[in-house]
Amino acid sequence: MRWVCFLFLAAVLFPAVSSRAAEAPLSEASQACLDCHAAATPGIVADWRLSAHARTTPAQASQKPELERRVSAAAITPALAGAAVGCAECHVRTQGGGPDDFDHEGRRVHAVVSPRDCAACHPDEAGQFQKNIMSQARGNLARNPLFSDLAAQINGGLVFEGGGLAAQAPEPLTEAESCFYCHGTEVKVIGRRTQHTDYGDFEFPVLAGWPNHGVGRLNPDGSLGSCGACHSRHQFSIEMARQPYTCSECHKGPDVPAYPVYQVSKHGNIQAALGKSWDFRPVPWTVGRDFTAPTCAVCHVSLLVDGQGEVVAQRTHQMNDRLHVRLMGLVYAHPHPLKPDTSRLHSPDGLPLPVSLDGRPAGPQLIGPEEQAERRARLEKVCLACHSTSWVKGHWARLDESVETSNTLTLTATRLLAEAWQKGLARGPAQGGSPFDEAIERQWVEQWLFYANSIRFASAMAGADYGVFAQGRWQATRNLRQMHDWLRLRSPAGKE
């Protein structure tokens, strides 16, 4: 009895110690890394020690019941199976090789861990992610001439000379810390350098586009993406990926105000007020027990079950798998493109866009009504865990309406801009100019990239203020009034 008592007490009093005791065995290679790096980069090592990777082996992880399993590989390479997922398991190359490999203390090491590395244990997730439009985020910007021009107009310098503003090409370092910070840089080896350290001199590759953890990063090994964008190194905490702060790294600004909208929604309120008592770690994740309101991951990513263990939603790393309409980033909302590489889309008016400037969609390149209905039904099943059918129907009806009305407001802005181009008050593509540089053109961009986006997000997540006064219909209609006012000022003789 006394010993039982002590054991219980130990579990209560020393939880930290207990969890440390659960560390999995280390491979010889990883132990060799830690011998120096525990002192050389103490923060990284301490962070990794808190990870699931440090506390389990792939072999153990594979034994879990299917719904609880986090590794998806049918069979784990024997070399990886029996030890913790330590430094060497991800950073040391045991076969093949990549352009960023370098010899380091007798091993072949690479700094940039890519989805291809993670796929050794998580192939399903890596595969889903390649169908995710996010994996193409870099190319969808860099290879689309229209959006490349937009980026250049934003990131380039402007000099006032001869009474006019002369645009300069953006610096690569500026591009890497602005658009491509989230979209992903191209990381490549551009040389070698020798570094003096307390442990001797080492030769390391010099990487361009580094650091970066953008979702569409082009890695030295040719793969796309960075799992670390959401599964932040080196703790790779599912607890973190499931909280909305992770998504807000890239989805917070006026161009994609998903997180601010969530914050003012009822769901966001519940998460802020009560989320500290939720359990963000269990797999599968149980509605009502582990959490009582959705975060981003609940609706868009996670494997969910109800209290009886019935599956509410399957895990997906293709983020639009439960989304029937693309709300943001483009001139008009539209059904999702069929393929994640959107740089090859061409709209009826011949532009690299899913919808023409006058609002006609690029039909067969987008998902059809059936696929839309299936995706909507998958998300709806999540809603229905806590809401009645009539509640959900009412919600969707509003979203459909706001997609239509926000698109109409954008069309009005486009017509105002066309009038400016036609009257020679600004120079658009037909006049040999960029559609993104002049003041009136900037207002047009804000109409769809800021205001129409925001109206639709507000509708989709029930964060009303972002549909009205916080970058919503107030700003959308004010912007149209200002564009019209400017046209009258510049062209007073024109009919009004």
- In the window 405-444, what residues touch its own copies (CB under 8 A)? 405, 408-409, 412, 415-416, 419, 437-440, 442
**Crossing angle (nearest 10°) for helices 473-490 and 453-461:** 170
Residue whose CB is less far from its own copies, 58 or 406:
406
Residue 493 in contact with its own copies, rule: CB under 8 A:
no
Residue 368 in contact with its own copies, rule: CB under 8 A:
no
Judging by beta carbons within 10 Å of its beta carbon (0-12, 13-18, 19+), is residue 197 exposed, middle or buried? exposed
**The amino acid at 126:** A
Which one among 56, 128, 237, 356 touches its own copies, defined by CB under 8 A? Answer: 237
Residue whose CB is less far from its own copies, 345 or 487:
487
| Cβ at position 349, least distance to its own copies in Å | 18
Which one among 26, 109, 250, 403 touches its own copies, defined by CB under 8 A? Answer: 250
| Cβ at position 59, least distance to its own copies in Å | 27
Span from 17-25, 61-69, 138-146, 200-208 in contact with its own copies (CB under 8 A): 200-208
DSSP 282-329: -SSEEBTTTBSS--HHHHHT--EE-TT--EEE---SSGGGG-SEE-SS
Which one among 258, 287, 303, 319 touches its own copies, defined by CB under 8 A? Answer: 287
Binding to its own copies in span 23-62, by CB under 8 A:
38-39, 41-47, 49-50
Which one among 58, 284, 435, 467 touches its own copies, defined by CB under 8 A? Answer: 467
Hunting for tokens 């079950």 — which residue is that? 305
Alpha helices in 218-265 (DSSP H): 238-241, 244-248, 258-264
Residue whose CB is less far from its own copies, 176 or 355:
176
Please answer whether residues 379 and 299 qualify as being in contact, where contact means their C-beta atoms are separated by less than 8 angstroms. Answer: yes
Residue 292 in contact with its own copies, rule: CB under 8 A:
yes
Size of the site for its own copies (CB under 8 A): 135
Residue 391 in contact with its own copies, rule: CB under 8 A:
yes
82 to 111: interface string for its own copies, x by CB under 8 A? -----------------------------x
Which one among 144, 223, 263, 318 touches its own copies, defined by CB under 8 A? Answer: 263
Residue 136 in contact with its own copies, rule: CB under 8 A:
no
Please answer whether residues 151 and 177 qualify as being in contact, where contact means their C-beta atoms are separated by less than 8 angstroms. Answer: no
Which one among 248, 302, 320, 342 touches its own copies, defined by CB under 8 A? Answer: 248
| Cβ at position 107, least distance to its own copies in Å | 16
Question: What is the distance between the alpha carbons of residues 413 and 420, in angstroms, rounded to a whole number?
Answer: 11
Residue whose CB is less far from its own copies, 6 or 363:
6
- Gyration radius from the chain CA atoms: 26
**The amino acid at 298:** V
Residue 255 has a CB neighbour count (10 Å cut-off) of: 15
Binding to its own copies in span 325-364, by CB under 8 A:
none
**Crossing angle (nearest 10°) for helices 439-446 and 473-490:** 160
Span from 27-35, 88-96, 259-267, 357-365 in contact with its own copies (CB under 8 A): 259-267
3-state secondary structure 167-200: ECCCCHHHHHHCHHHHHCCECEEEEEEEEEECCE
Residue 249 in contact with its own copies, rule: CB under 8 A:
yes
Which one among 74, 78, 308, 432 touches its own copies, defined by CB under 8 A? Answer: 308
Residue 309 in contact with its own copies, rule: CB under 8 A:
no
Q: Which residues lie closer than 8 Å to 439 by C-beta, 6 or more apart?
A: 486
Span from 77-85, 91-99, 114-122, 201-209 in contact with its own copies (CB under 8 A): 201-209
> Cα-Cα-Cα-Cα dihedral of 317, 321, 324, 327, to 10°?
10
Which one among 93, 107, 381, 484 touches its own copies, defined by CB under 8 A? Answer: 484
Question: What is the distance between the alpha carbons of residues 425 and 427, in angstroms, rounded to a whole number?
Answer: 7
Question: What is the distance between the alpha carbons of residues 217 and 182, in angstroms, rounded to a whole number?
Answer: 9
Residue whose CB is less far from its own copies, 237 or 347:
237
Question: What is the distance between the alpha carbons of residues 486 and 383, in angstroms, rounded to a whole number?
Answer: 45
Binding to its own copies in span 153-182, by CB under 8 A:
153-160, 162-165, 171, 173-174, 176-179, 181-182
| Cβ at position 129, least distance to its own copies in Å | 19
Question: What is the distance between the alpha carbons of residues 466 and 262, in angstroms, rounded to a whole number?
Answer: 10
**Which residues make beta-bridge pairs with 286?**
305
Residue whose CB is less far from its own copies, 356 or 366:
356
Residue 490 in contact with its own copies, rule: CB under 8 A:
yes
Span from 1-9, 28-36, 70-78, 361-369 in contact with its own copies (CB under 8 A): 1-9
The three-state secondary structure class of 364 is helix
Residue 282 in contact with its own copies, rule: CB under 8 A:
no
Residue 37 has a CB neighbour count (10 Å cut-off) of: 16
Q: How many CA atoms lie within 13 A of 126 on its CB side?
A: 17
Residue whose CB is less far from its own copies, 57 or 243:
243
